[in-house]
Structure 1
Amino acid sequence: MKRVYDNCCGIDVHKKLIVACFKQGSEQEVREFGATTRELLELCRWLKDGDCEMVAMESTASFWKPLYNILEASELDAIIVNARHMKNVPGRKTDVNDAEWIADLLQHGLLQASYIPDKDQRELRELVRYRKSLVGERTRELNRLQKMLEGANIKLSGTVSNINGKSARAILEHVLTGESFDDAKYDEMYENNVISHRLKASKEEIIDDLNGVMSALQRRMMKELLIHLDELNIHIRNLDDEINNFMKPEAKTASVALQEMPGIGETSAQAILAVIGTDMSRFPTAGHLASWAGLCPGNNESAGKRKTGRTTKGNCLLRETLITCAHAAILKKDTYFYAQFQRISAHRGKKRAYVAVAHSMLTAIYHMLKDGVVFKDPGADYYN
């Protein structure tokens, strides 16, 4: 088999151990290094002295990141490979054998590199992921608050649509003081605009829903929970500012353009751009991008017949964001996405229809970023 690289290195990465197999033609040398920065720099010097052309390693958890950062700073070409694409023969698994197998596959060009963005985009992705985690934690805290209110016989969530809104929060803070909530207190808060005049619930309904049985322990727990909610809101706002300041001008322009598409807001646009970036040259077609995102069916063909293929495993952050955007996009009934959802869900089910809408949205995003065009909705009568 033809050699693609004369001098290359395969690395088996662990938390505290790095096993490297450096191939120079038909000869090879195996060395072990630690995972500290000093030892990683020593590994880079060894590879540079041997004129290494390419380095390959598995995407093992987050243990590949320190090594990749050092290789990138040392101007050594490196690729990250999915472990499923280079499984060794069962029964021959040792650290040294793994490193030799990776080096052998790399030398003959049999490895497919994973998409690793540049350092700035990786840091932006970390910011977006952390914000997503905090938003999820805030949602879980609101669910806990709802359970506590139910346990205290307070039915505020059945009357007010958002228990974290301004009016509901003011009512809760008064209830947690231990004072009664009667007609006089409601009138006072209503006149001072503490309670919104746009609430659909009547005064009698709100007072009746707040007539519960709350113990002193439940009151203390809810106070701590509200304090935690306020802290989470502060952290999320700080991350929003950090993301806006960190994004490059071309990314901000692209974010504004993506928000013209139904279902995509500022937060979703930032998450999408943090994952795929603004340079679409790394994806030959929109189909390649959809496959990488896990939004297209897999191939399952036998004897000339195409069978049902499950969607492939793709980038979790991008897939979840686009599915969420698809849920929001179909709420506008005068759009193409609504017509597509109705057409597919009738015979394939709603879940597959959401994935199909997300696929269409990603295809449109690809052409918007690659060709610099604006989004133009074909309309709800497209299929007619």
Structure 2
Amino acid sequence: MKKIRKQSAGIDIGAKKLFVSIEGEPVKTFGTFTEDLESLGNYLLQHKIKTVAMEATGVYWVILYDILISHNLDVWLVDGRNTKQVPGRKTDVKDCQWIQQLHSYGLLNRCFIPDNLVQELRTYQRLREDHIRSSSMHINHMQKALILMNLRLKEVISQIHGASGMRVIRAILSGERDAEKLASLCDSRILNTKKELVIKSLKGHYIEAALFSLEQAVKGYDFYREQLLQCDIKLEEVLKKMHPQKPIKNTSKKRKVIRHHKPNVDRMDQYLLNIFQGRDATVLPGITDYSWMQLLSETGTDLKKWKTEKHFTSWLGLAPKQHNSGKRNRNYKVKGTPKAGLIFKQAAVSILNSKRIALGAFGRKIRAKKGGLVAIKAIARKLAELYWKLFVNGLEYVEKGIKKYEEIMLVNKQRSVTRMAKELGLKVVQV
């Protein structure tokens, strides 16, 4: 093979040491303090290095990447799965030499690194998701404490962490034990339909330990709800920085309802429309303003970094990988799925259950043959292709519904039958 990058280096990143390999030079070790990283950048410039490759190891690469970029070096962040060493010969010194060798021959693929504002948005959004998961843990603790006291409120109302449920729980913690008074704190819509059930569910057997557990769970839940509000403030600040310096467009179109974990961000839809120059991702099925903002934090604004929609779906982990050997053709299952791919899968779940969307009919057809997981992935892949085409090719998506999809499928079946009849020397007669 021919070397295409002669002035290249490879770096193996660790928690305490960095190993740097330059062709023709012995491997040099650096510490991980800031002054050590600056010395590493100067060392590369002294040897006239122009391009550097390093593995994406945890979060250790982030500050090193920024420092090397500030030294005007072409930095390649690569997936560690693409730089596997020969088994039994792995050391930190050999790793950095192997990375340098692969990079010099052009055998490595660069990871996607968004710009600074998108990275900041991603940090706040991922932190927000962590807080949502932590708050859900405390909701489970609240449910467990109520069950220990045989307060069956969660069997009567849909969410104990809703407005009615939390009013009842806070009243219990304040010392109220009368079931009718507790039930009166619920919303009128609940009382109009199942008041007696609510009263029965609130007649329990109070235990001191369970009350203490309930109080702790409520405090933990309130803490994470406050953290969510702080993240929402930061998200709004970043969105303000990202949208162009021009008047925000007024959108008369009714937006899709965000049913769960809606961010407290004023005019979020208008910020997103300005960032994407008027193109609206919510015209696609299953995509709301919140999931659109999540995709923005993971994929950025410039989808042209992926050459085609196939490159995009492959990066998302939604495309099958080839793993053929002899007569066996198998799909290679990659471990893990990028967060952006999971967002498309979450949207696909709602589409699969829809009764009016063509993609839902497409997914149910696959589910009948290969199961739900394959169907969700197939829908997510179709949705990701539409998302890429919308922002790269200017696709104007119009939902034509299940009826139109069924008509197309009927035409395809007729063509298939006609072709088979022709091959068998038969004639198709329409009844």
TM-score, L = length of structure 1: 0.91
1:272 to 2:307 alignment: no
How far off its partner does 1:9 sit? 0.7
Distance 2:133 2:332 in 1: 27
Q: 1:366 aligns with which of 388, 391, 399?
A: 388
In the alignment, what sits opposite 1:252?
272
Equivalence map 1:316-327=2 (5 Å)? 316-327=338-349
Amino acid at match of 1:145: M
Q: Check the 8 A contact 1:129/1:317 in 2, yes or no.
A: no
In the alignment, what sits opposite 2:313?
290
How far off its partner does 1:141 sit? 1.3
Moved more, 10-19 or 173-182: 173-182
Amino acid at match of 1:222: L
Residues 44-67 of structure 1: per-residue CA shift (max 9 Å, x gap): 111112221110111222221221
Q: Check the 8 A contact 2:120/2:238 in 1, yes or no.
A: no
1:70 to 2:67 alignment: yes
Equivalence map 1:79-90=2 (5 Å)? 79-90=76-87
Distance 2:238 2:337 in 1: 22
2:146 counterpart SS class? helix
Residues 83-113 of structure 1: per-residue CA shift (max 9 Å, x gap): 2212222232222222211112211212222
How far off its partner does 1:356 sit? 1.1
TM-score, L = length of structure 2: 0.82
In the alignment, what sits opposite 2:168?
171
The unaligned stretches of length 5 or more in structure 2 are: 245-270, 408-431
Amino acid at match of 2:379: V
How far off its partner does 1:313 sit? 4.1
2:20 counterpart SS class? strand
Q: Check the 8 A contact 1:259/1:269 in 2, yes or no.
A: yes
Moved more, 337-346 or 262-271: 262-271
How far off its partner does 1:310 sit? 4.4
The unaligned stretches of length 5 or more in structure 1 are: none
Equivalence map 1:174-189=2 (5 Å)? 174-183=171-180, 185=181, 189=184
In the alignment, what sits opposite 2:91?
94
Q: 1:60 aligns with which of 54, 57, 60?
A: 57
2:318 counterpart SS class? coil
1:213 to 2:233 alignment: no
Distance change >3 Å, CA 5–CA 310, structure 1 → 2:
closer
Distance change >3 Å, CA 131–CA 186, structure 1 → 2:
closer
How far off its partner does 1:311 sit? 4.2
Moved more, 1-10 or 88-97: 88-97
Distance 1:179 1:40 in 2: 61
In the alignment, what sits opposite 1:22?
22
1:347 to 2:369 alignment: yes
Amino acid at match of 1:203: K
In the alignment, what sits opposite 1:196?
187
How many corresponding residue pairs? 374
Distance 2:285 2:333 in 1: 24
Amino acid at match of 1:122: Q
1:150 to 2:147 alignment: yes
How far off its partner does 1:305 sit? 5.6
1:130 to 2:127 alignment: yes
Q: Check the 8 A contact 1:8/1:52 in 2, yes or no.
A: yes
Residues 19-52 of structure 1: per-residue CA shift (max 9 Å, x gap): 10122xxx23421110111011011111112221
Amino acid at match of 2:364: Q
1:113 to 2:133 alignment: no
Distance 2:235 2:10 in 1: 36
How far off its partner does 1:374 sit? 4.0
Moved more, 114-123 or 62-71: 114-123
How far off its partner does 1:333 sit? 1.2
Amino acid at match of 1:21: S
Distance 2:228 2:46 in 1: 47
In the alignment, what sits opposite 2:45?
48
Q: 2:214 aligns with which of 222, 237, 240?
A: 222
Distance 2:39 2:109 in 1: 27
Amino acid at match of 1:20: V
Moved more, 287-296 or 365-374: 365-374
Amino acid at match of 2:178: F
Q: Check the 8 A contact 2:171/2:182 in 1, yes or no.
A: no
In the alignment, what sits opposite 1:378?
400
Q: Check the 8 A contact 1:7/1:51 in 2, yes or no.
A: yes
Q: Check the 8 A contact 1:12/1:99 in 2, yes or no.
A: yes
